[in-house]
Structure 1
């Protein structure tokens, strides 16, 4: 359950591994090879067996690409990992700011023509189309995975048993979901589903193939006559056979490609998540959205109630943790000690299935690394006058949590307080927001940045991501970001997490989870339907870091109201030192 503080890869190994890969390229007659951080299911998270990018480069972030050419190589990461990628990868890999510079942009100069190899299970239909469009002189060649040919101690594929997700928490039977979605895929005869969390949601099952994410690896074909073919290793399915019933036919993974080849009528594939290997096996593929994506994002009443219960439980653990943390003398704790204690408080709820991601606990300059994961090699003490950024969450059977709090250790500086208050203003602005139906995350992301922009500050990540219901802590398709084009709809759970990072000095992020809900009409409202957010997370925000004069009256009112709600809700669930701490932490400004 607790986080392992071991190194998964080393920058020192990168040059030799790259050299071996370049030798293999020459032997095979290829000029380059693509290495995405992806697996055959095209979810965001990968098992150890599929973490080829980390094996080659040393980079352990959750998103990125590498390109190996015969005479050079590059690694592509977004702004969340600017600091991390420098620390984790050797100089033989050029560091490319992606997507500011796309793979196609870089390849157009580095390999204007030649033979570029790729694993067809690890490249999506959309990704291949983009490369073909932008690199007309480059020949894309599907091949077996060249990393696997070199990775002598590659871990075995995960084989965790799948298990049933209870009906009272799912809120809808899997038979009803299948029947409902089968109608939606018309006029296609079937739809291919590769995303593990889509399959888990559709069939009301969960699994353990991906650390921190309760999903099972497999593939599915949803037929328009309300049948599902589930392709999953038999070792995983003993506990779900009776639950699935006659509407779901179980088959081994080896039968997946032959089953695709046997489908002659139009079959829907989602180009954003469908591997090239799948579309190549189909006689008549038709592009469309994964039919589970939107229904999964729109949580039903049972899922929302479960999430509220999970957040109440998680908030109690967080308050106990924050009270404990404030009682420790600066300099006596290390980042690892903080993480272990937080995870212990969550475990003491006796309801925790797992943490929802490896806890981010960055003191001082480590806080400026957006997705920092402490290891034995990087562990450091938490000193007086520093900020401590803790981003963490839990996987409970009734919900998934994700919360970030930035804590003052000792006396914060005026710069700390000013930046923190500007981040807080952005978080409060979204929390108070009313917006018309049909608006997407890209329409509101700027509001979280306004106060930071006034001071010439900004952050490089999106403001919010979708969150699953005892599923993946990052869930599409909606987001609050400049790229968030999907309209926000009632029932969606998103994070609200603006931040600011001063490289080499400190990091600030404040994160609550929020639910999109319908807003009551106003007396002179001209818009047919307005939406607003319900805040799920109920944990105090560090008042020592707030400059009250920077807050508008409405922002102070919201914060005092939020803290009163936190106090009223949590008081019955905490006692002794945690109760005393909570009363002080929730006092009005």
Structure 2
């Protein structure tokens, strides 16, 4: 069926339910960024496959909102449908709430699925609709029309993440969580975020592509911990591990009725951003539950990596660097021999070198292998039927990462494939300067991404250029490649603390011309303590050489070149013992100091 045909079926359901407008988020019951295929209803309905976006369907029109990372992709994938693309934060573009408010009249009903819509968004709508006499009804209208090809709910086999990689047992983490709840004047929490649950309990599965998630909820009270999941996926080893750490098991579907049925007096910490509207409403309606509004506490607990996690993560980056070196060597050799290679071939070559690496589990996200103008689409991914041939000119952008049992990696490099225009060489240098500016940053305790994003962005701003995304994001530990609560963007005010990982990935994206991004993962570490307070700095943990061929050297300062030379020497020293003599010699040439 086409998108328009699916929308026609949805409108039949809307009419039967007495609903004038229907809202479709990109979400699941866990407010996940990357979704199990079962809940990719917005993508199924619209044809737009990007990870970020929401839809609104009225009786006569439909619209889709997405952010700047996906403007180009969304415009292409929506072409031929009735759906109007709303480019978020662009001049004249209404927000979703503004759009809904303008189209709902007195007596109208807005429909949405309360199990996959956040309580925070529903609260925003209720405030916007005050005095308008618009009703909000929780109803799933997608399931009746998405029947034949809808993937089932995932239930992959769970496994234990061993203590030698986690540094803390699940029981120790649960004890720390209960202490943190007490600090918020609470004693209980229903965890819904999958990354929080698997980290807390030291278990993993593969319920989401690229992310070792276990579809589950976790109730933590003063006396008990209950994991709600499909029990059939739990091996005897996992059951034994959970029992040893004081965790009982219940069916996944029991979570909502059990919240409704709780009869012990509990002070439950709730983050409306992380909790579905249906679950939040059940808590509010339960007279035994006192709702305590506050941020979900496991996110900051796992954001600050412990010593074991940091050591393991550094080892994971060395392995990733080895694979990247071998991939680049083979790519250079085969292109020099006149072979015809595509973007997909680059991805396949890299994965061939990753597969034998110790503790490798898979990729951490869909590889972005983008040649030439394709790289201007920030989240472009090639496919066998849409895969550019790599020529002996221009740039190749490779954004990729791995899941190892001892860590999660995310690395981007942009490689010179042949002659470049002066303009593209300058763009490349601007991006490298932006990357180094952030990496060299020293900052006071209490600073956040909102304070530091400008260190990178100002390097391109001075040329009248910007990039429509943040400069970086947190990275999980055998978890999601995007995890918070911190990030490197102008809107994130969560303070950076030692042990946090954040990516450093500024870029320049010119539609139809080029896309350039250079990304390292940075570890926040102490710098010094003076009469003025505590200061932190960044330590780059990525171990992959940066292509120096496109650099316009006269645009680089001595301090920038010193940082780059020191980084490359560290890359060489950390990787050389894992490489054969030919690979060592190649890497030595790639990491020679720039005078």
User: Do both share a fold (TM > 0.5)?
Assistant: yes
Please tell me whether residue 174 in structure 1 is matched to residue 170 in structure 2. yes
Name the CA distance, whole Å, in 2 between partners of 1:53 and 1:375: 21
Matching residue of 1:356: 364
Name the CA distance, whole Å, in 1 between partners of 2:315 and 2:446: 29
Please tell me whether residue 124 in structure 1 is matched to residue 118 in structure 2. yes
1:34-66: CA deviations, max 9, x gaps? 111100111211111111011001111111101
Larger displacement relative to structure 2 (263-272 or 368-377): 263-272
Assess if the C-alpha contact under 8 Å between 2:104 and 2:134 holds in 1. Answer: no
* 1:135–1:581 Cα change, 3 Å: farther
Matching residue of 2:297: 291
Assess if the C-alpha contact under 8 Å between 2:359 and 2:406 holds in 1. Answer: no
Assess if the C-alpha contact under 8 Å between 2:450 and 2:491 holds in 1. Answer: yes
Equivalence map 1:187-586=2 (5 Å): 187-225=185-223, 227-238=224-235, 239-245=237-243, 247-263=246-262, 264-282=265-283, 283=286, 284-329=290-335, 332-521=340-529, 525-586=530-591
Name the CA distance, whole Å, in 1 between partners of 2:2 and 2:347: 28
Assess if the C-alpha contact under 8 Å between 2:53 and 2:64 holds in 1. Answer: yes
* 1:279–1:567 Cα change, 3 Å: same
Alpha-carbon distance, 1:285 to partner:
2.3
- How many residues align? The count is 574
Alpha-carbon distance, 1:179 to partner:
1.3
1:156-181: CA deviations, max 9, x gaps? 10010111100111111111111121
Assess if the C-alpha contact under 8 Å between 2:441 and 2:455 holds in 1. Answer: no
Name the CA distance, whole Å, in 2 between partners of 1:414 and 1:332: 26
Alpha-carbon distance, 1:140 to partner:
4.2
Q: What SS does the corresponding residue of 1:375 show, helix, strand or coil? A: coil
Name the CA distance, whole Å, in 1 between partners of 2:129 and 2:136: 13
Q: What SS does the corresponding residue of 2:321 show, helix, strand or coil? A: helix
Backbone CA RMSD of aligned residues: 1.5
Larger displacement relative to structure 2 (172-181 or 331-340): 331-340
Name the CA distance, whole Å, in 1 between partners of 2:87 and 2:128: 18
* Structure 1 unaligned residues grouped into runs of 5+: 1-11
Alpha-carbon distance, 1:453 to partner:
1.1
Alpha-carbon distance, 1:587 to partner:
1.2
Q: TM-score, normalised by structure 2?
A: 0.94
Q: What SS does the corresponding residue of 2:395 show, helix, strand or coil? A: strand
Assess if the C-alpha contact under 8 Å between 1:104 and 1:135 holds in 2. Answer: no
Matching residue of 1:164: 160
Matching residue of 1:105: 98
Name the CA distance, whole Å, in 1 between partners of 2:582 and 2:591: 14
Matching residue of 1:146: 141
1:245-266: CA deviations, max 9, x gaps? 2611111123212321233432
Assess if the C-alpha contact under 8 Å between 2:521 and 2:541 holds in 1. Answer: yes
Q: What SS does the corresponding residue of 1:146 show, helix, strand or coil? A: coil
Alpha-carbon distance, 1:331 to partner:
7.2
Q: What SS does the corresponding residue of 1:450 show, helix, strand or coil? A: helix
Q: What SS does the corresponding residue of 2:484 show, helix, strand or coil? A: strand
Name the CA distance, whole Å, in 1 between partners of 2:8 and 2:127: 30
Name the CA distance, whole Å, in 2 between partners of 1:133 and 1:370: 35
Assess if the C-alpha contact under 8 Å between 1:331 and 1:382 holds in 2. Answer: no
Assess if the C-alpha contact under 8 Å between 1:497 and 1:512 holds in 2. Answer: yes
1:422-449: CA deviations, max 9, x gaps? 1111110111110000000010101101
Please tell me whether residue 74 in structure 1 is matched to residue 63 in structure 2. yes
Please tell me whether residue 61 in structure 1 is matched to residue 85 in structure 2. no
Matching residue of 2:28: 39
Assess if the C-alpha contact under 8 Å between 1:423 and 1:510 holds in 2. Answer: yes
Alpha-carbon distance, 1:540 to partner:
0.9
Please tell me whether residue 25 in structure 1 is matched to residue 33 in structure 2. no
Q: TM-score, normalised by structure 1?
A: 0.95
Assess if the C-alpha contact under 8 Å between 1:465 and 1:494 holds in 2. Answer: yes
Larger displacement relative to structure 2 (157-166 or 568-577): 568-577
Assess if the C-alpha contact under 8 Å between 2:402 and 2:410 holds in 1. Answer: yes
Alpha-carbon distance, 1:144 to partner:
3.2
Name the CA distance, whole Å, in 2 between partners of 1:139 and 1:345: 57
* 1:140–1:308 Cα change, 3 Å: farther
Name the CA distance, whole Å, in 2 between partners of 1:319 and 1:402: 15
Name the CA distance, whole Å, in 2 between partners of 1:177 and 1:200: 11
Name the CA distance, whole Å, in 2 between partners of 1:96 and 1:333: 36
* 1:73–1:138 Cα change, 3 Å: farther
